[in-house]
Structure 1
Amino acid sequence: MSSTFRKVFSILALLTSTLSAAAQEPAFRVLAFFTGKSDLAHISFVEESYAWFQQAAKQENFVYDTTRNWDDMRPEVLATYQVVVFLDTRPEKPAQREAFRQYMENGGAWLGFHFSAFALTPSAFPQNWDWYHNTFLGSGEYGSNTWRPTSAFLKVDDTRHPVVQGLPAIIKASPNEWYRWKNDLRKNPDIDVLLSVDSSSFPLGTGPKQHEIWHSGDYPVVWTNKKFRMLYVNMGHNDMDYGGTNSTLSYTFGNPEQDRLILHALRWLGAKW
C-alpha cells in the first residue's frame, strides 16, 4: 500500500467514524414527568403517550425518558435534558418548583398537556403557584370545562409560528375535555395563542349538565409564552367508559393533524428548527 493511499484511506476512515458518531448522537433529550393517578382518562393518556413518543424519538432522533418521581425535578437532572414534558400534573414541592423555574428562566424548554395547567382553589390542586399559573402559563385558575369529551374544530390563530406550519386553517381535534381559564389570554402581551376553538364546534359538549355545553365564546387551546421556550396544549383527556368497563373510548394520538402539531412542537422546542 503506497504512502498516498494510506493517507487517503486514513482520512476516509476518520470521516466515516465521525459521520457515524454524528448520526448516533441524539438531536436533543426529552424528560417527561407524570403522576398517572388522578383520573382514568389522564392515566389512559399517559399510557398511550409512551408508545407515541418512543416512535417519535426514533423518527426524529431524540432521547425520550419518563419518570413519575417528581424529585427528579432538580438542577443536576434537568441540566441533561433540552426539553421537559408534563404529561398530567405539576411539581408540588417548593424545591421541585424552584428547580423548574430556574430551568425555564435559563433557556430550558417545556411542553405541557391538559391537566398540567389545572389549578382550582379549593381542590386537590389549588392555585398556590403564581409564577407557574399566572406568569408562565398566563391562564391562572381553571374556570370550567366541557363534558363529555368530544371532538372540536380548532382554528389556527398564528399562521407564522413554526409549530403550526403545514397545518390547514382548521383542524379536527381528537375527543377531549376542553378547559376554560379565568385569565383572558388574549389580553396578555406575552401570550401567543396558536390554536383556539372554532365557532363551527358549537355546541361543544353533550352534558348532561347544561353549563358543560359551550354555545359561544373564545377558548384558546394551544399557546406559547414569548418570554420562554414553552408550549401548552389542552389535549390529553381521553373519553372513558366511566362506571362501566372503565375502558378507553377515544385516543389523543393517532390523529394525523394533531400528531403533526405535537411533532412540530418537539422539533421547535428541541431547537431542531
Structure 2
Amino acid sequence: MRGIRALIAIALLVGAPAAWAAPVIDCPMRDAPFSIQSPIVDILLNTDAKALVETQAGDLLKTLPPRFFSTTAPTFAAILTMEKLAAMKGTGATDLSALDAALRKIPVTPGDRIARCARYDNDRPALTLPAGRPRLLLFEKMTGFRDGPSVDAARAAFQAMAKRNGWALVVTDKGGAMRPSVLRRFDAVIWNNVSGDVLTLSQRKAFRAYLESGGGFIGVHGSAGDPATFWNWYVDNLIGARFAGHPMNPQFQDARIALSDAKSPLASGLPSEWVMNDEWYSFTANPRATGADIIATLDESTYSPVGMDGMQLRMGDHPIAWSRCVGKGRMFYSAIGHRPETYGAAPYVRMLENAIRWTGTKSACQTRPVR
C-alpha cells in the first residue's frame, strides 16, 4: 500500500491529467527492468536510457523515420523493441548484449512507472446500448500504430452491418471498458485494428475471463499485426500466431483468397475463391498447428510475399482468416483489412457478418476438428 500511495502522490505532483480519477498503477510492464526487450517508448521516456541507446546503438534508431519514435501514444515506439529493430535491420540480437546489460543497470524510478502506465486508462465509459442482438462492443484503443483510414472504414462497415441486421453496437476507445460489469452486457467484443499493449493487468484478467466463460471476440487486421507484443496469452493462445511481416515494394498487392472450410458457419454464402488487393500479413507459425479452424487461405503464387530488405514471408499453407474455441467462448480473426476499400468488398463483408453471428452465439463453443 505504501508504494501505491507514493505513486499516486507523485502522479499528482507531476500534473496527472484531471481525467484520471486515480492513476493507473497496474500496467503490465510497470516494474520491468530496462532491456533490449523493453518497448522503445519506455527507453525514450528515461533520459539515461535514451542517452545510452543513442550512444551505443544510435544507428538503429535511424532505421525508421523519426515520427515512428514519438513518446506520445499512439506511437510505433510502443510496438518495437531494440531487439526487434535490430532483427528488422538484419543485425543479430547478440550484437546488443552489451547494450542490454547496460540498460538493465539503470534503475526504474517511480517517475518511470508513472510514465509507463500513462498510456493505459481506467476510464469507465458511459455506454448507451441500443436495442438489438447480438450486443456488440467495438473496441478501438490504440497505443501503437493507428492507421486512421482503415480504423474509420472498419467502424463505418460494422455500424452499417449493425443497422442492416438489427444488431446493437456501441464504440469505445477506453481500456476501462474491459471490466466484468461492462463486458457482461455484450455478446461479443470487436477489436478494430487495435495496436499496442492496451489493457492493464486487471483488464486483461477481466477480458480473458469474459471470453473463457462464453463471450465472443472478433479481431481484424492490425489487432494481430504488431512487430513486438507484450501479452503472450493474447498472441499465442487467443490469436494463435505471431506477426512476421507484410510485403513491401509494393506494399499492397492483388492476391487470391481460397475458402478452406466450406462447412464452417463462417463460410456461409462465400465464394470458393476471390481476389482482393490488400497488405498481406505473414505469421511466424501456422495457427492451424494451435487448433484453429482455418476459414480462408492465401494463394502465395498470386502475389509476392517479400518484405522489408528482401525478407522472405512465404508460409506455404497461408491462413488469412480463422476461428477457435476459447474455453466456452468463441474467437474469429481476419488478417484482411489495411486498405479502407476492403471493408466494402462483398465477400469480406459477408465473412465479417458471419463472424459476428457466430461469435455472438451464446451456446458454449464446440471444438471443431483440426484442419
- Alignment gaps of 5+ in structure 2: 1-129, 364-371
Quote the sequence identity (%): 28
Which residue is equivalent to 2:73? none
Query: In structure 2, which of residues 233, 236, 252 is the aligned counterpart of residue 134 of structure 1?
Result: 236
Equivalence for 2:270: 167
1:183-227 per-position Cα deviation (integer Å, ceiling 9, x unaligned): 232322x2111111024423357x784337x56722211011234
Aligned counterparts of 1:117 and 1:215: Cα–Cα separation in 2: 18
More helix as a share of residues: 2
Contact 2:255 2:300 in 1 (8 A): no
Distance 1:170 1:73, change over 3 A: same
Cross-structure match for 1:183: 285
Q: Give the letter for the 2:138 counterpart.
A: A
Corresponding residue of 1:3: none
Match of 2:311 among 185, 208, 211: 211
Q: Could you say what secondary structure the match of 1:183 adopts?
A: coil
Q: Give the 3-state SS of the residue equivalent to 2:333 in structure 1.
A: strand
Q: Which one-letter code corresponds to 1:28 in the other structure?
A: P
Q: CA RMSD of the aligned region, Å? A: 2.4
Q: For the structure 1 residues 170 and 94, does the alpha-carbon distance in structure 2 shift closer, same or farther, using more than 3 Å as the test? A: same
**Which residue is 1:241 aligned to?**
none
Q: Distance in 2 between matches of 1:130 and 1:272?
A: 27
Q: Distance in 2 between matches of 1:216 and 1:131?
A: 23
Kindly indicate whether residue 203 of structure 2 is the aligned counterpart of residue 74 of structure 1: no
Partner of 1:220: 319
1:231 positional shift = 0.1
What SS does the aligned partner of 2:343 have?
Answer: coil
Structure 2: distance between partners of 1:96 and 1:218: 35
Tell me how far apart the structure 2 counterparts of residues 72 and 215 of structure 1 sit (CA, whole Å): 38
Separation in 2 of the partners of 1:117 and 1:270?
A: 21
Q: Residues of 2 paired with 1:160 and 1:145: CA distance?
A: 29
Alignment partner of 1:30 out of 136, 157, 167: 136
SS in 2 for 1:97: helix
Q: Which letter maps to 2:246?
A: N
Match of 1:233 in 2: 334
Tell me if 1:50 matches 2:50: no
Note the alpha carbon deviations across 1:24-46, whole angstroms, 9 max, x for none. Answer: 95121100111367446x22111
Q: How many residues align?
A: 228
> Is the Cα–Cα contact under 8 Å of residues 202 and 215 in structure 1 kept in the other structure?
no
Query: What is the deviation of 1:119?
Result: 4.1
Aligned pair in 2 of structure 1 residues 49, 144: CA closer, same or farther (>3 Å)?
A: closer
* Structure 1 partner of 2:198: 91
2:344 is paired with a residue whose SS is coil
Instruction: Find the residue that maps to 1:266 and give its secondary structure.
Output: helix
After TM superposition, the runs of 4+ consecutive aligned structure 1 residues lying more than 6 A away are none
Indicate the residue corresponding to 2:298 in structure 1: 197
What residue identity is the alignment partner of 1:136?
L
Q: Do residues 114 (structure 1) and 221 (structure 2) align? A: yes
Q: Is the 8 A contact 2:247 2:308 kept in 1?
A: no
2:13 is matched with: none
- The one-letter amino acid of 1:68's match is D
Could you say which residue in structure 2 is the equivalent of 1:247?
none
Displacement of 1:54 in angstroms is 1.7
Q: Is residue 216–residue 331 contact of structure 2 (8 Å, CA) maintained in 1?
A: yes
In structure 1, the gaps of 5 or more residues are 1-23, 121-125, 239-249
> How far did 1:49 drift?
2.0
Q: Does 1:151 align with 2:254?
A: yes
For normalisation by structure 2, the TM-score amounts to 0.56
Contact 1:202 1:216 in 2 (8 A): no
Query: In 2 relative to 1, CA 68–78 (structure 1 residues): closer, same or farther, beyond 3 Å?
Result: same
Describe the SS at the equivalent of 1:218: coil
Q: Which has the higher contact order (CA 8 A, sep 6+)?
A: 1
- Cα distance in 2, alignment partners of residues 30 and 43 from structure 1: 21
